[in-house]
């Protein structure tokens, strides 16, 4: 009997210990306790939140692929060399940017920066596409010149006549409008302010909001709200008083990057991203290999569909042959003679439309004849120019005002605004950021390992960086024409056309890569690996663009089996 009592007592003590340890464990794993310090912290700081796709974007899971792999090189320009590259996951526009999308940008610009006002007269004109690209010396195309951009019949057609600089500025504008809407949805901006209260000196910029929330919308506190901390009267909700009676006002009442609300910027895709997304080799993957090769964004080596439902139909909009842009009347080969509505042809295995044909597309990269995979084989891109926020004498960020708008003057004399009121002024990074760094040593890295003075046979290793600026034309790696535009003392534009007949190339730091075939191109150019270049400040009737967005977080959303 005594033994049974002892056993019962031991069992009771064991149960007490187990419950005690369980409660301690539960307490130590509280969601408000930091795993790193044990301090009580905001529970949301340690939680994981998946990035949402922005409007119009499709998820493209990254991976490895062979960049520059073309089936044939009929141009014999040695412009493509197969190199193994890895692309990080990203998002990409499902379709090319359409006339309707671009007109939304123009309408907003005209409303906020009225061209009738002297301070803003060049902003709207700098954003308008060049509709004269349709004209031809021996062709009648005035219908497209007058109607293609604005007529509702062409609303879902890809926008053309947009140069690379304009495409970049559209992408910036799109970033601001998307994040502005997201912050309004989450209670950080007054509802309707983005349409009713916006003016030239009171508008929204993402980076300005993240760095100085009270500076957007001209510092109007009736528009910039504290989100979840807002009370019914529009002020800041105060927390309940603790036992000691001291109320600590809430901090970080505005959305931050850590809030997970603000999306990364819309931008042009890099050449590697575009080619990877267009090739869509994922559609023929088995286990950890690609089965066979693809010449086009679709499977097979032919431009016509082999499926029973659409057998014989063309899979893209391109030029069939001399004088044949769309077949005979009554039987149109590809359903179009110029561009066509987006989504008229099947999507590739990433769900992207018109990655071959319709219009060729701008990408971010500065053009060079080679892709230097020895220098980098991850997220390859040529054209990095690193900047930082400009800080004023008062120690605060400098925000662009109406009297400090920055423009880029193109080689044809057209002005494009590149820094608008409300944005943070940018300056190149200096030696404070580059000193003793191994990964970059200057702000402009466009010419790294190709095209800079160090790449030429004339380079003297004893020269300094300043000597490189004195380099003569006949000793440059790329001796391209140098057209200049200036303004005389009377304010008149002076254009100087370079007529030097000793020029040996058209390549310089202002030519950009464009990818994919267009309605004007033969099937040869539909291969995703093909690459061409064009001056960044010129536009055509066959080059458009689409936007991309970087992926933050996990490479993939779903767990995969070995085969699938």
Domains, the chain, ranges and CATH?
Answer: 54-173+261-381+514-557 (3.90.1580.10), 187-260 (no CATH), 384-411+425-445 (no CATH), 447-508 (no CATH)
Mean pLDDT of 454-479: 62
Q: What is the DSSP secondary-structure string of 269-300?
A: PPHHHHHHHHH-GGGGEETTEE-S--SSSSSS
Q: Is the pLDDT of residue 42 over 90?
A: no
What is the percentage of the chain residues whose pLDDT exceeds 70? 86
**Which of residues 292 and 402 earns the better pLDDT score?**
402
What is the percentage of the chain residues whose pLDDT exceeds 90? 60
User: pLDDT band at residue 37, thresholds of 50, 70 and 90?
Assistant: confident
* pLDDT at site 27: 47
> 164-185 and 99-112 helices cross at what angle (nearest 10)?
80
* pLDDT at site 89: 97
Phi-psi region of 28 (alpha: psi -120 to 50; beta: other; left: phi over 0): alpha
Contacts of 313 (CB under 8 A, 6+ apart): 304, 305
Q: What is the dihedral of CA 463, 469, 474, 480, to 10 degrees?
A: 140
| CB 90 within 8 Å of CB 550 | yes
Q: What are the tens digits of pLDDT across the range 201-216?
A: 999 999 999 999 999 9
* pLDDT at site 463: 56
Mean pLDDT of 299-309: 84
Choice among 110-119, 487-496, 510-519 with the minimum mean pLDDT: 487-496
C-alpha distances (whole Å) from 87 to each of 60, 62, 254, 287 are 10, 5, 34, 19
Tell me which range, 74-88, 238-252, 458-472, is most confidently predicted by mean pLDDT. Answer: 74-88
DSSP summary character for residue 497:
-
* pLDDT at site 43: 55
Mean pLDDT of 264-276: 98
Q: Is the dihedral of CA 370, 376, 380, 381 positive or negative?
A: negative
Q: What are the tens digits of pLDDT across the range 75-129?
A: 777 788 899 999 999 999 999 999 999 999 999 999 999 999 999 999 999 999 9
Q: Is the pLDDT of residue 28 over 50?
A: no
Mean pLDDT computed over every residue of the chain:
87
* pLDDT at site 4: 60
Q: Is the pLDDT of residue 471 over 60?
A: no
**In 3-state terms, what secondary structure has residue 90?**
strand
Choice among 160-164, 244-248, 346-350, 429-433 with the minimum mean pLDDT: 244-248
Q: Which of 349, 41, 399 is nearest to 201 (CA)?
A: 399
Choice among 343-357, 460-474, 475-489 with the minimum mean pLDDT: 460-474
Neighbours of 450 (CB within 10 A): 18
Q: Is the dihedral of CA 322, 295, 337, 334 positive or negative?
A: positive
**Which of residues 247 and 408 earns the better pLDDT score?**
408
Q: What are the tens digits of pLDDT across the range 118-173?
A: 999 999 999 999 999 999 999 999 999 999 999 999 999 999 999 999 999 999 99
User: pLDDT band at residue 12, thresholds of 50, 70 and 90?
Assistant: low
Q: Which of 268, 255, 211, 257 is nearest to 422 (CA)?
A: 211
Element containing residue 533 per DSSP (H, E): strand 531-535
| CB 483 within 8 Å of CB 411 | yes
Mean pLDDT of 258-281: 96
């Amino acid at each position: 009997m005594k033994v049974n009592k002892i056993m019962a007592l031991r069992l009771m003590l064991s149960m007490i210990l187990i419950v005690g340890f369980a409660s301690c464990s539960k307490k130590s794993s509280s969601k408000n306790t930091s795993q790193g310090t044990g301090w009580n912290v905001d529970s949301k700081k340690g939680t994981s939140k998946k990035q949402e796709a922005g409007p119009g974007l499709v998820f493209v899971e990254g991976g490895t692929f062979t960049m520059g792999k073309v089936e044939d090189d009929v141009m014999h320009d040695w412009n493509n060399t197969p190199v193994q590259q890895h692309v990080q996951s990203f998002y990409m526009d499902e379709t090319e940017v359409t006339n309707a999308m671009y007109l939304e940008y123009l309408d907003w610009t005209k409303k906020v920066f009225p061209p009738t006002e002297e301070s803003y007269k060049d902003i709207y004109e700098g954003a308008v596409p060049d509709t004269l690209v349709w004209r031809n010396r021996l062709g009648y195309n005035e219908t497209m010149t007058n109607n293609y951009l604005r007529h509702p019949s062409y609303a879902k057609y890809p926008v053309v006549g947009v140069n690379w600089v304009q495409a970049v500025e559209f992408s910036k504008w799109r970033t601001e409008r998307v994040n502005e809407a997201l912050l309004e949805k989450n209670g950080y901006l007054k509802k309707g302010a983005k349409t009713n209260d916006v003016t030239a000196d009171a508008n929204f910029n993402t980076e300005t909001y993240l760095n100085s929330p009270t500076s957007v919308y001209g510092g109007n506190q009736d528009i910039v709200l504290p989100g979840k901390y807002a009370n019914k009267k529009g002020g800041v909700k105060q927390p309940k008083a603790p036992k000691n009676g001291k109320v600590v006002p809430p901090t970080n009442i505005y959305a931050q990057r850590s809030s997970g609300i603000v999306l990364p910027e819309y931008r042009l895709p890099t050449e590697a991203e575009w080619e990877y997304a267009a090739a869509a080799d994922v559609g023929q993957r088995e286990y950890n290999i690609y089965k066979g090769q693809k010449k086009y964004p679709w499977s097979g080596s032919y431009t016509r569909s082999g499926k029973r439902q659409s057998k014989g139909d063309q899979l893209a909009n391109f030029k069939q042959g001399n004088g044949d842009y769309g077949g005979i009347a009554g039987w149109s080969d590809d359903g179009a003679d110029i561009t066509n509505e987006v989504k008229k042809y099947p999507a590739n295995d990433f769900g992207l439309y018109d990655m071959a044909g319709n219009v060729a597309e701008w990408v971010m990269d500065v053009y060079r004849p080679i892709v230097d995979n020895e220098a980098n084989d991850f997220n390859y891109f040529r054209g990095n120019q690193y900047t930082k926020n400009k800080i004023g004498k008062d120690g605060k960020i400098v925000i662009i005002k109406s009297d400090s708008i920055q423009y880029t003057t193109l080689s044809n004399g057209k002005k494009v605004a590149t820094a608008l009121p409300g944005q943070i002024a940018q300056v190149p990074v200096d030696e404070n950021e580059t000193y003793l760094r191994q990964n970059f040593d200057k702000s402009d890295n466009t010419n790294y390992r190709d095209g800079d003075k160090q790449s030429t046979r004339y380079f003297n290793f004893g020269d300094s960086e300043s000597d490189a600026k004195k380099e003569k034309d006949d000793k440059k790696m790329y001796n391209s024409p140098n057209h200049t535009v200036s303004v005389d003392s009377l304010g008149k534009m002076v254009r100087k056309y370079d007529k030097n007949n000793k020029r040996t190339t058209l390549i310089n730091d202002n030519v950009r890569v464009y990818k994919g075939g267009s309605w004007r191109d033969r099937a040869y150019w539909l291969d995703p690996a093909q690459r061409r270049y064009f001056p960044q400040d010129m536009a055509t009737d066959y080059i458009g663009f689409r936007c991309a967005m970087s992926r933050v977080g996990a490479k993939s959303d779903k767990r995969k089996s070995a085969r699938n």
